[in-house]
């Protein structure tokens, strides 16, 4: 697997080695020892998968308690995946990374604990699969406003109105949102 650094050093784009022939392909998407050797020494406890229609925007979600690191990949389709640094003591607090993930490019995004996560579906549908380092805990979940001007996320919107859930429509601005402080 190849590591591609992003503009935030803790968020990594991972490109698997794909072994293919006329029958199809094989790739390894996770190996605990490789991740440990490359500085991601966390235990994954939950796997999630979602299917979303074109134009759907999910996020930006994070859990203040039980923060989740996420290893994200697309099983079918294509989407724009985003991580926002919510660690108040970080030099990159409030900054974001966005990457195109697709079944075709087979890339994965490592979103560490302390980041909000969201995505926007570019293809007709997209299936997203991700491993989490902690359990989903709705009572500790928060949502950032996807279009907060302070974040300035450059979403590749197909139209002016993404499909949003009620929770995502009611997201908080960065200035209002609770954040992580790992130094305490």
Q: Is 61 a catalytic residue?
A: yes
Domain residue ranges of the chain, discontinuous segments joined by +: 2-169
Out of 61, 62, 117, 180, pick the active-site residue: 61
Q: What is the mean pLDDT of residues 101-128?
A: 98
So what's the pLDDT on residue 182? 62
Q: How far apart are CA 80 and CA 101, in angstroms?
A: 6
With a CB cutoff of 8 Å and minimum separation 6, the contacts of 36 are none
62 is catalytic: no
Catalytic residue among 62, 117, 120, 130: 130
Nearest C-alpha neighbor of 85 from the set 96, 75, 101, 77? 96
Nearest to 142 by CA among 108, 179, 111, 106: 179
The CA-based dihedral angle spanning residues 24, 25, 26, 30, taken in that order and rounded to the nearest 10 degrees: -130
Superfamily of structural domain 2-169: Jelly Rolls (2.60.120.10)
pLDDT in tens, 126-184: 999 999 999 999 999 999 999 999 999 999 999 989 999 999 999 999 999 998 876 53
DSSP 37-86: HTT------EEEEEEEETTBEEEEEEESSS---EEEEEEESEEEEEEEE-
What is the spatial order of strands in the sheet that 115-121 belongs to? 96-102, 78-85, 115-121, 57-63, 141-143
Which of these, 11, 132, 14, 12, lies nearest to 67 by C-alpha position? 132
Residues 40-79: tens digit of each pLDDT: 888 999 999 999 999 999 999 999 999 999 999 999 999 9
């Amino acid at each position: 697997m190849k590591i591609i650094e992003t503009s935030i050093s803790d968020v990594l784009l991972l490109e698997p080695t794909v072994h293919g022939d006329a029958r199809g392909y094989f790739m390894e998407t996770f190996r605990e020892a490789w991740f440990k050797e490359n500085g991601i020494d966390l235990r994954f406890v939950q796997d999630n998968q979602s299917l979303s229609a074109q134009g759907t925007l999910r996020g930006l979600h994070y859990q203040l308690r039980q923060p989740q690191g996420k290893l994200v990949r697309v099983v079918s389709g294509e989407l724009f995946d985003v991580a926002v640094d919510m660690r108040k003591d970080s030099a990159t607090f409030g900054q974001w990374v966005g990457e195109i993930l697709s079944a075709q490019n087979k890339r994965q995004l490592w979103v560490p604990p302390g980041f909000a996560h969201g995505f926007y579906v570019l293809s007709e549908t997209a299936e997203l699969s991700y491993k989490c380092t902690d359990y989903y805990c709705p009572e500790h979940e928060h949502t950032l406003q996807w279009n907060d001007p302070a974040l300035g996320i450059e979403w590749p919107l197909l139209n002016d109105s993404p499909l949003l859930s009620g929770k995502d429509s009611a997201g908080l601005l960065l200035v209002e949102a609770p954040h992580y402080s790992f130094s305490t």
